[in-house]
Each structure stands twice: as structure tokens, then as C-alpha cells.
């Protein structure tokens, strides 16, 4: 092993841990624990620092996901924590979207790890097998199942960055103007709307009371307009980059109230994710504080 302390891999490790866990603080803790274990490890037995750290952080995440507490938390609130504009490579942006992470988090922990390490981070099967404690042949089977699940939940065609920006801008205008018909035109017939709930705030109670997804273009459009009418007059909404794509961020008295993310085809909105939970918006409010 070289004399490197591994700091050059911190961003990579966070990328793996955040996608596995869907929570910034938990991901940072997993990365820190990986470095703590590195300090205790026998340096002469580590032939690749990158491989060692990736394996360790994956195992830490798997342990956390397999715990009974984590299973209960994911069952109640499955939407991941959103991240403000990031500096990850463009080719990784798609795997950072709330839509993708929501699909990913419906997989078993081992399926999640295998899919990420192979499809997103392009590890070889030997590295993956060591990370998840399975044989290479078994990892290939796990990946096949995971890919089938992910493909079934995604639209066949996805919007380009330019198309995504245009759709989100039109969506914001339609909501602001309260025009149901204009909104329906932007939504796929089978569009789904999901909200993560959270504590009550004035004007947002209806959106926060959702426990099941709402689906269908007209139903979702009318619901969105109804929620928009409840919003306080001094609320402002801005288009910002969140999890690698355009999103709507709503502010009240400079505090972020909600983040709306999307899954987009070239011409329609396929899914809408509203993140209201204050505990998941702390990173946004740290910027404005």
C-alpha cells in the first residue's frame, strides 16, 4: 500500500454511502467509520486502498440497512434526503436523482450494493463479491434481479438536461398561475405524486397528510393546485439544482419549506417527489442561515 491516507477517496466513499443509505449524516458517519477502521488495519495486508475503503464502507452501510431499526425507518419514510447542487461528474448525476434513489431503496440491501458497485461505480465482480460477502456467480444473479426491478420502474426515455429545465419551468408557471389544464398537459397519464410528510406548517397540512402516492394526471394536477392555494402569500419558489437535476425549492422567511423533485421524460413529468420533512432539509437551511 502507498503512504496515502485515503483522503482522495472521501468523495467516492460518500457517493457510495449516500446512495446506499439515502441520508447525508448517516453517509458521512459511514465514511468516517471506514477511515477509523483503516487506522486500525494492517497496512501490509492492504494492496489497494481504494478497494479496501470501498469494501469497508459498503459493509458498514449493509450492516446499518440490515438492522431492525433501519428496516422500520425505511418502511415509514422511504424518500431519501435531498442534496443541494453537487460537484459529482455529469455521468453520475442520473444515479443521484430522487427518482432513481427511490427505486434503489426498494431493493434489498445486498441488491442495492451490488447494483451500485457494478452499474454506477463500475467495480469488477471480484471487488463486489468481497464487499458483500457473496460469490461472484451469486453477485451476477443478484445484479440481474436488481436490474430487472430498476428497469421496470423507470420510463423508457428520459429527458435531456435542456428538456428537464424547460419542463420544470413550465410546471412552476402552471402551478403559480393555478391553471389545471396547463398542468395536466405537462403530466404523464400515469404520473405519481409522493410526499415524505413531516411536521405541520401553515398552508402545507394537506400535502403533509399524504400517506400514499397520488396518481393520474387530473387527480395530481388538481391536488397540486389545491396545495398551491394554501401556501402563504410570502412564500417564494425558485428553480435550483438538487440531486443533479432541476427542482423547485420553496422558501418562507428565508427558510426552506419544501423541495420538489421530478422524474422526467422528454415531454412529460412521470413522477413528482415532495420533500417536506424539516430533518431532511437541514443542509438547505444551513446555506441560507
Cell of 215: 396518481
For the ranges 5-19, 80-94, 198-212, 274-288, the lowest mean pLDDT is seen at 198-212
Query: If we measure between CA atoms, which residue out of 196, 175, 164, 173 comes closest to residue 270?
Result: 164
The pLDDT value recorded for residue 59 is 95
Alpha helices in the chain (DSSP H): 10-21, 24-40, 49-66, 68-76, 98-104, 109-115, 125-132, 136-152, 161-177, 180-186, 205-208, 217-230, 282-288
Q: What pLDDT score was predicted for residue 287?
A: 64
Task: Point out which residues pair with 241 in neighbouring strands.
Answer: 246
Q: Are 116 and 13 in contact (CB under 8 A)?
A: no
- Confidence class of residue 204 from pLDDT cuts 50, 70 and 90? very low
Kindly give, in sequence order, each residue whose CB lies less than 8 Å from that of residue 260, ignoring residues fewer than 6 positions away: 247, 248, 249, 250, 272, 273, 274, 275
Whole-number pLDDT of residue 198: 53
Instruction: Name the 3-class secondary structure at 49.
Output: helix
Q: What percent of the chain has pLDDT over 70?
A: 87
Look at the block and give the residue holding cell 437551511.
285
Lowest mean pLDDT among 36-40, 49-53, 84-88, 195-199: 195-199
Strand partners, 236: 251
pTM for the predicted model, two decimal places: 0.87
CB of 44 closer than 8 Å to CB of 3: no
DSSP H/E element including 261: strand 255-264
pLDDT band at 203 (very low <50, low <70, confident <90, very high): very low
pLDDT of residue 289: 52
DSSP labels, 174-201: HHHHT-HHHHHHHEEEEEEEEE---S--
Q: What is the pLDDT of residues 126-172, one digit of tens each?
A: 999 999 999 999 999 999 999 999 999 888 888 999 999 999 999 99
| Cβ atoms of 171 and 232 closer than 8 Å | no
User: Residue 242 in 3-state DSSP?
Assistant: strand
More confident residue, 289 or 117: 117
Instruction: Look at residue 115 and tell me whether its pLDDT is greater than 90.
Output: yes
Q: How confident is the model at residue 211 (pLDDT cuts 50, 70, 90)?
A: low
Roughly what angle, to the nearest 10 degrees, separates helices 161-177 and 217-230? 60
Domains and CATH numbers, the chain: 7-150 (1.20.140.160), 161-288 (3.10.450.50)
pLDDT mean over 187-206: 70
Q: Binning pLDDT at 50, 70 and 90, where does residue 209 land? A: very low
By the 10 Å C-beta count (0-12 exposed, 13-18 middle, 19+ buried), 93 is classed as middle
Amino acid at each position: 500500500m502507498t503512504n496515502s491516507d485515503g483522503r482522495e477517496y472521501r468523495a467516492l466513499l460518500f457517493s457510495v454511502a449516500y446512495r446506499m443509505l439515502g441520508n447525508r449524516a448517516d453517509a458521512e458517519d459511514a465514511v468516517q467509520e471506514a477511515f477509523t477502521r483503516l487506522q486500525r488495519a494492517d497496512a501490509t495486508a492492504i494492496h489497494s486502498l481504494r478497494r479496501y475503503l470501498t469494501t469497508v464502507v459498503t459493509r458498514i452501510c449493509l450492516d446499518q440497512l440490515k438492522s431492525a431499526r433501519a428496516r422500520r425507518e425505511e418502511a415509514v419514510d422511504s424518500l431519501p434526503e435531498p442534496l443541494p447542487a453537487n460537484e459529482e461528474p455529469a455521468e453520475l448525476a442520473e444515479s443521484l436523482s430522487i427518482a432513481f434513489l427511490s427505486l434503489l431503496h426498494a431493493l434489498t440491501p445486498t441488491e442495492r450494493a451490488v447494483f451500485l458497485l457494478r452499474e454506477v461505480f463500475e467495480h469488477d465482480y471480484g471487488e463486489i463479491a468481497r464487499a458483500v460477502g457473496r460469490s461472484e456467480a451469486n453477485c451476477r444473479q443478484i445484479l440481474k434481479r436488481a436490474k430487472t426491478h430498476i428497469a421496470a420502474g423507470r420510463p423508457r426515455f428520459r429527458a435531456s438536461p435542456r428538456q428537464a429545465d424547460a419542463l420544470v419551468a413550465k410546471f412552476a408557471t402552471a402551478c403559480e398561475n393555478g391553471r389545471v389544464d396547463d398542468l395536466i398537459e405537462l403530466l404523464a397519464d400515469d404520473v405519481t405524486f409522493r410526499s415524505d410528510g413531516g411536521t405541520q406548517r401553515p398552508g402545507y397540512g394537506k400535502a403533509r397528510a399524504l400517506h400514499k402516492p397520488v396518481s393520474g394526471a387530473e387527480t395530481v394536477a388538481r391536488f397540486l393546485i389545491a396545495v398551491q392555494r394554501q401556501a402563504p402569500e410570502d412564500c417564494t419558489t425558485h428553480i435550483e439544482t438538487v440531486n443533479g437535476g432541476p427542482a423547485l425549492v420553496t422558501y418562507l422567511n428565508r427558510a426552506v419549506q419544501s423541495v420538489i423533485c421530478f422524474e422526467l421524460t422528454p415531454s412529460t413529468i412521470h413522477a413528482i417527489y415532495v420533500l417536506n420533512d424539516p430533518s431532511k432539509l437541514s443542509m438547505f437551511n444551513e446555506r441560507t442561515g
